[in-house]
Amino acid sequence: MKVESYWSHTFLPELIRPDGVIFDFGTNNGGFCKLVPAGYGFRAGSVLGSKTVAAGQRVCVSQSARSKAPDSTPQLKSGKVLINALS
């Protein structure tokens, strides 16, 4: 069974479906959320707990999760980081 590890995060990529969704809680500089989905074609959503760190994020697009109606929930796309939240 294939095992991958990005820094201190080990996971089993073979168990992730091609159209699967990854959530990255604690994105920091976006490494996991940029690199792992890009390598496998997975879709990833990013959740960042720090406004200060979020301020320096080029990869994150700040969106208001609560202001979105259910039918306009951001659609996750491959390699894209969609939200900064959970502060």
Distances (CA, A) of 87 to 29, 33, 48: 16, 18, 7
CB of 27 closer than 8 Å to CB of 60:
yes
| CA-CA-CA-CA torsion sign (62, 83, 75, 79) | positive
81 is an interface residue for other proteins by CB under 8 A: no
36 is an interface residue for other proteins by CB under 8 A: yes
CB of 3 to other proteins, least distance (A): 4
Residues that bind other proteins (CB under 8 A): 1, 3-12, 15-17, 20-26, 28-29, 31-36, 38-39, 42, 45, 47-58, 62, 64-67, 70, 73-74, 76, 82-87
